Amino acid sequence: MSHIKRKIVTILTDERLPAADKITLLRELEADTLSKERSATEGMTPVDGDDGENLKAIENALRRLGQQPVEAGAASL
C-alpha cells in the first residue's frame, strides 16, 4: 500500500476527525497529487509510478464523504 493510500485510510478511519476536516485533508492530498501529475507531464519530476492510482483512491475517498472530486481531465494537466 502506498504512502498516500495509508494516509487516506488513516483519515477516513479517524473517529475524532469531523467529516469537514476529513474533506479538507483529502482536498489537500488531491491538490498535491494533481500538482505532481501536472509537473510530471511537463517533464519536471517523475510520478511515483502509481499510474494515477493515488488520485483514484483520493477521489473514491471524497465520494465516500459525499464530495465530488476536482475535474482533472487531460486539459487540466
Q: Please report whether residue 70 resides in a domain.
A: no
Residue 74 domain flag:
no
Tell me how crowded residue 14 is: count the other CB atoms within 10 A of its CB. 12
Predicted confidence (pLDDT) at residue 46 exceeds the cutoff of 90? no
For residue 77, being part of any structural domain is answered with no
User: For the stretch 18-56, what's the b/e string if a residue is b when 16 or more beta carbons lie within 10 angstroms of its beta carbon?
Assistant: eeeebbebbeebbeebbebbeeeeeeeeeeeebeeebbe
The structural domain count of the chain equals 1
- Does residue 76 register a pLDDT over 50? no
Residue-range definition of the domain harbouring residue 7: 3-65
pLDDT at residue 56 greater than cutoff 90: yes
Tell which residue, 61, 64, 58, has the closest CA to residue 72: 58
Is the pLDDT reported for residue 39 higher than 50? yes
What is the reported pLDDT for 2?
85
